[in-house]
Amino acid sequence: MQLINDKKNGKPVGRALATATCALLGVQATTTLAKDQPGEWDVETALLIYSETDDRVQAAEPVISATRNFDGDKKLNLKLVADTLTGASPSGATPSDLPQTFTRPSGSGSYTVDAGEAPLDDSFKDTRVAVSGSWTAPLNRDYTYSVGAYGSREYDYLSTAVNGSLSRYLNNKNTTLTGGLSLGVDIVDPVGGAPVGLSRMALRDNKIEAEFDQEFAATRESDDTKTLVDALFGVTQVINRRTLMQFNYGVSYSSGYLTDPYKILSVIDESAGANYGGNLIGADGNPVYLYENRPDTRMKHSLYWQTKYMLDNGDVMDGSYRFMIDDWGITSHTIDLKYRWRLANSYLEPHFRYYMQSEADFYQRYLTESEYNSGTPTVSEASADYRLGELTGMTFGAKWGYRLDEDRELAIRAEYMIQSNDGDEGFGKLTSHDLYPDTNAMWLQLSYNF
Amino acid sequence: MTSITIAPADNPAKHPQPQLEGSGRNWQGRFKAMASPCEILMEGVSRAQAEEALRYAARETWRLEHKFSRYVEGNPVDRINRSHGKPVVVDDELSLMLDYAAQCFELSDRRFDITSGVLRRAWRFDGSDRLPEKSDTDNLLRLVGWNKLNWQRPTLTLPEGMEIDFGGIGKEYAVDRIVLDLNRSLPKGTSLLVNFGGDLACNGARTNGQAWVVGVEDHKKLSDSTETLSLRGGALATSGDSRRYLVKDGVRYGHILDPRTGWPVPEAPHSVTVAAPTCTLAGMLATFAMLQGSEAEEFLQQQQVQYWVQRS
């Protein structure tokens, strides 16, 4: 309760009365109750371990989030996340029946991928630290606002954002309308500079170092920025004592450098002969790989619908569906189902998620010799990043949570994801390679809230 | 359902014995006190613990009822009301209550007054049109006013003819007392909700982390409390005049009397429900709001609490 002077008699009533009441009851102002009470920090800690199969990305992510409650439903939340990623990720190049040598993103050094192996860039290693803070408070009985800021840093990436939202309560708080806006600016500063889109990757073989250096430098431009604007409109509706429903519509617009500076495409030989379907060999005697290039704007729309239903026995069913469409030509559908099974002092929550996406208009598993057009590509945008391709993912998991007491909860979550890509199988020699290997990954998360 | 036996000495008003229902770790105790159904909901306790808690709650509530009621002959309130202007020494518990009454009198700008009960001699809220004479209420006003008595802890001197009445505090105080005491005596992790006729408090969310769902009475449909609220902590209390009023020449006179005029507060809401950390505070804020009449909502808005006001 905030101390506000009653206009009529000029006396602060609420706080003085609260103090008097505490004296009567012989309690401290904050001793009455537990969570969400003013003057206490509620802390959530978690450690997430993510691991893709086949020596691909491994990540460890500790998170600490603390919320401080103040009088009058005001809240401050601070969150710190650290990520450590190691391992290799698909570079975008196609496998080949010959060993392939690629230049590292920094330009210093090369790595070789064995014949028939999926080209993975093993120089992938990163540490990210993200901090965010938000402040939520009621404006009056019917409105609540929230403002926040976000910043994260990786060695080649700096991300910043500010956001705000306003919620309006209607029908005795049975309906909540929320509008939110987020503005972000990211600075991309890739190791060795950002490559020029669709320029040819410089390779060392058959060259002296100075020649290579000159070629490499010609493919570089300086760091770049991207801006992001996100707007969200949501309705949360209490249907009855057991059912809660939420609808969101979000629109997101990003512009600037949206390309992944570490992703490349192979150029495939179309000429009839022994190398039909193999890597195109350039004038320097090396295969031709191009750095990818994406459009410099992207507009996304998403619709989200969630329903939570509580059963007689206290179990909770939670289902959601998300539809996303963007002007890159990607549409996606996500279905997420959870069932919280209430046990004595704990709960068990099985989880299933299904994800399906169509490919971006400019997604290509490889470029052909004619599209490469001897260095003057006939396409202005192309990417072989599997995340922009046609893919289907299924996640199975479960969470077990144990309530130590009214304030403290310990939980463990384990999930397994199977994701498969699909698309054009190529021609000639390419058809003997698996162009779309599955990605299997598992998560393990341990969390403790107090 | 099990009856809990409480010795007659601890049950001076001869209420029926408390009843315990439930199974496993979830138990509901019920008894009557202070003219209300009383309910104790407990989660995460054994049957034996629930029985012990219910026994304690009923005995303590009945003790408070017996001590603070103005209808019990020979209790401390009765001794004060029959003291004929002589000083009376009171115990610590009653002293705290009197200190609180003094602060509420000040903070409400003399609207909340535990000596205003004598005005009821002039007012009968029976739905009729029989208003008292202004001269009658003016005469009674001479016996009203916390500032007319002398309270020097632990001694109270009440002028002849005046009376005190804790009706506006007692029930909410009892709810908080029971929650605080049981929260201390029951094992950590117990979830508890105490509901005395709609004035209620809990010690946090339910054991499954969900909110308690409680009904709020709508004065227009007295039998059916359809509106529900979720409570994860703290308390709710209601002040209202559901059935008690007079109507004359089309004007409705509610039973909330302004001790400064001796007449009902004009344009007082039918009921005010407030959410606050304790039931006593919620109840007092609701009462203060009623006493603000047409400005009840504005007053509550300024206190920045959740509230529900019903007007016809």
Decide if A411 touches B, using CB distance below 8 A: no
Residue B258: enclosing H or E segment and its boundaries? strand B257-258
* Euclidean distance between CA atoms A351 and B22, whole angstroms: 32
A41 or B19, higher pLDDT: B19
Q: What is the DSSP string of A40-97?
A: -EEEEEEEEEEEESTT--EEEEEEEEEEEEETTTEEEEEEEEEEEEES-EE-SPPP-S
Cβ count near A161 (within 10 Å): 19
- Residue A219: what pLDDT? 92
Residue A207 clears pLDDT 70, i.e. is over it: yes
Those residues with Cβ within 8 angstroms of residue A42's Cβ, 6 or more apart along the chain or in another chain: A35, A36, A66, A67, A68, A69, A407, A449, A450
- Residue B158: what pLDDT? 94
The pTM is what? 0.59
Decide if A17 touches B, using CB distance below 8 A: yes
Average pLDDT, chain A: 88
| Domain boundaries along the sequence of chain A | 1-32, 37-449
Place of tokens 């990305």: A57
Reported as a pLDDT band with limits 50, 70 and 90, residue A39 is low
Beta-carbon-side half-sphere exposure of residue B74 (alpha carbons within 13 Å): 1
Q: In the structure encoding, which two tokens stand for residue B31, read together?
A: 């008894």
| Pairing verdict, β B191-196 and B199-202 | antiparallel
CATH topology of domain A37-449: Porin (2.40.160)
Q: In the structure encoding, which two tokens stand for residue A200, read together?
A: 């040819």
* Euclidean distance between CA atoms A366 and A287, whole angstroms: 13
Give residue-wise pLDDT tens across range A334-362.
999 999 998 878 899 999 999 999 999 99
Residue A122 clears pLDDT 70, i.e. is over it: yes
Best of B302, B307, B310 to disrupt the A interface (most A CBs within 10 Å) is B302
* Euclidean distance between CA atoms A316 and B206, whole angstroms: 14
Which range among A5-9, A281-285, A352-356 shows the weakest confidence by mean pLDDT?
Answer: A5-9
3-state secondary structure B76-131: HHHHHHCCCCCEEECCHHHHHHHHHHHHHHHHCCCCCCCCHHHHHHCCCCCCCCCC
Residue B7 clears pLDDT 80, i.e. is over it: yes
Reported as a pLDDT band with limits 50, 70 and 90, residue A170 is confident
Decide if A34 touches B, using CB distance below 8 A: yes
Which range among A11-20, A150-159, A433-442, B281-290 shows the weakest confidence by mean pLDDT?
Answer: A11-20
* Euclidean distance between CA atoms A13 and B106, whole angstroms: 10
- Cβ contact (<8 Å) for A241 and B234? no
Q: Which residue of B has its CA nearest to A242?
A: B213
Using omega within 30 degrees of 0 as the cis cutoff, is the peptide bond preceding A38 cis?
no
- Residue B221: what pLDDT? 44
Best of B183, B208, B226, B285 to disrupt the A interface (most A CBs within 10 Å) is B208
- Cβ contact (<8 Å) for A1 and B303? yes
Decide if B232 touches A, using CB distance below 8 A: yes
* Euclidean distance between CA atoms A86 and A91, whole angstroms: 15
A281 in Cβ contact with A287 (< 8 Å): yes
B287 is in an annotated binding site: yes
| Domain boundaries along the sequence of chain B | 2-68+171-204, 76-165+239-310
B30 in Cβ contact with B38 (< 8 Å): yes
Residue A257: enclosing H or E segment and its boundaries? none
Best of A5, A32, A404 to disrupt the B interface (most B CBs within 10 Å) is A32
Residue A189 clears pLDDT 90, i.e. is over it: no
Residue A381 clears pLDDT 90, i.e. is over it: yes
Q: Where are the beta strands (DSSP E) in A171-201?
A: 175-188, 194-195
* Euclidean distance between CA atoms B4 and B51, whole angstroms: 7
Q: How far is B137 from chain A (nearest CA, A)?
A: 25
Sheet holding B155-157, edge to edge: B87-89, B155-157, B150-152
- Residue A126: what pLDDT? 79
Decide if A312 touches B, using CB distance below 8 A: no
Average pLDDT, chain B: 89
Give residue-wise pLDDT tens across range B105-128.
999 999 999 999 999 888 888 778
Reported as a pLDDT band with limits 50, 70 and 90, residue A32 is very low
* Euclidean distance between CA atoms A289 and B124, whole angstroms: 96
| Residue positions counted in chain B | 312
Alpha-carbon distance values, A158 to A151, A154, B248 (Å): 8, 6, 74
The values of phi and psi at residue B267, to 5°, are 60, 30
A141 or A42, higher pLDDT: A42
Burial class (CB in 10 A: 0-12, 13-18, 19+), B19: middle
User: Taking CB atoms and an 8 Å cutoff, what residues of chain B touch A405?
Assistant: 188-189
By C-alpha distance, which of B280, B277, B202 is closest to B239?
A: B280
* Euclidean distance between CA atoms B143 and B160, whole angstroms: 8
- Residue B131: what pLDDT? 87
* Euclidean distance between CA atoms A193 and A103, whole angstroms: 14
* Euclidean distance between CA atoms A372 and A93, whole angstroms: 14
Mean per-residue pLDDT, A252-259: 95
- Residue A293: what pLDDT? 96
Judged by DSSP in three states, A386 sits in: helix
Nearest to A4 among B96, B234, B302 (CB): B302
Residue A260 clears pLDDT 80, i.e. is over it: yes
Alpha-carbon distance values, A248 to A139, A184, A237, A319, B303 (Å): 22, 20, 11, 14, 33
Those residues with Cβ within 8 angstroms of residue A219's Cβ, 6 or more apart along the chain or in another chain: A195, A196, A199, A200, A201, A202, A291
A64 in Cβ contact with A43 (< 8 Å): yes
Q: Which residue of A has its CA nearest to B189?
A: A405
CA angle B301, B307, B309 (to 5 degrees): 95
Q: How far is A164 from chain B (nearest CA, A)?
A: 22
Best of B110, B292, B301, B304 to disrupt the A interface (most A CBs within 10 Å) is B304
Give residue-wise pLDDT tens across range B218-268.
544 444 445 677 888 899 999 886 556 777 777 778 778 899 999 999 888
- Cβ contact (<8 Å) for B204 and A406? yes
- Cβ contact (<8 Å) for B306 and A406? no
Percent of chain B with pLDDT over 70: 95
**What is the homologous superfamily of the domain B76-165+239-310 according to CATH?**
ApbE-like domains (3.10.520.10)
Residue A215 clears pLDDT 80, i.e. is over it: yes
Decide if B147 touches A, using CB distance below 8 A: no
Nearest to A21 among B203, B208, B280 (CB): B280
A-B interface: how many C-beta pairs under 8 angstroms?
129
- Residue A313: what pLDDT? 76
Sheet holding B199-202, edge to edge: B2-3, B19-23, B26-33, B36-43, B191-196, B199-202, B234-240, B271-276, B306-310
In this structure, what DSSP letter does residue A99 have?
-
Give residue-wise pLDDT tens across range A295-332.
999 999 999 999 998 887 778 899 999 999 999 999 99
Reported as a pLDDT band with limits 50, 70 and 90, residue A37 is low
* Euclidean distance between CA atoms A90 and A315, whole angstroms: 42
By C-alpha distance, which of A368, A116, A192, A123 is closest to A265?
A: A368
